[in-house]
Amino acid sequence: MIVGHGIDIEELASIQNAVEKREGFAQRVLTDKEMDRFTNLKGRRQVEYLAGRWSAKEAFSKAMGTGIGKLGFQDLEVLNDEKGAPYFSKSPFSGNVWLSISHTEQFVTASVILEENHEN
């Protein structure tokens, strides 16, 4: 049963601006494992990666109904599986979490669906 759905969209330029103007912005948003991946990327791909994680975490907080104020960025971790698909490797939700992240030239969007596990 679906218990929550959250969507977020961000301008890549806003994330780029935050990185340039706020020292430690990426470290505030990304976990240690996410930072490992982030530091291996270059240029625009770094911004896309960070924006994708930001948007995914915002969408998750909306699906939970809490907003990011009650749920910290470090409480959530988004990694990639062997095929490259993003997934939440860390979250406070015990059921299934379905995540999709998409980029355009200007925007990143993420959608999160929370599904309870019911054993019959």
Known catalytic residue at 103:
yes
Known catalytic residue at 42:
no
* Annotated catalytic residue within 5, 21, 57, 62: 62
Within a domain: residue 120? Answer: no
Degrees to nearest 5, angle at CA 54 with 27 and 8:
165
User: What is the extent of the structural domain holding 21?
Assistant: 2-115
Domain total in the chain: 1
Within a domain: residue 73? Answer: yes
8 labelled binding-site residue: yes
Task: Render pLDDT for 49-93 as a digit per residue (tens, 0 to 9).
Answer: 999 999 999 999 999 998 888 888 999 999 999 999 999 999 999
Per-residue pLDDT at 119: 64
H or E segment to which residue 25 belongs: helix 25-29
Per-residue pLDDT at 13: 97
Taking the C-alpha atoms of residue 71 and residue 37, their distance in angstroms, rounded to an integer, is 23
Per-residue pLDDT at 59: 97
pTM of the model: 0.93
Within a domain: residue 31? Answer: yes
20 labelled binding-site residue: no
Amino acid 28 reads: R
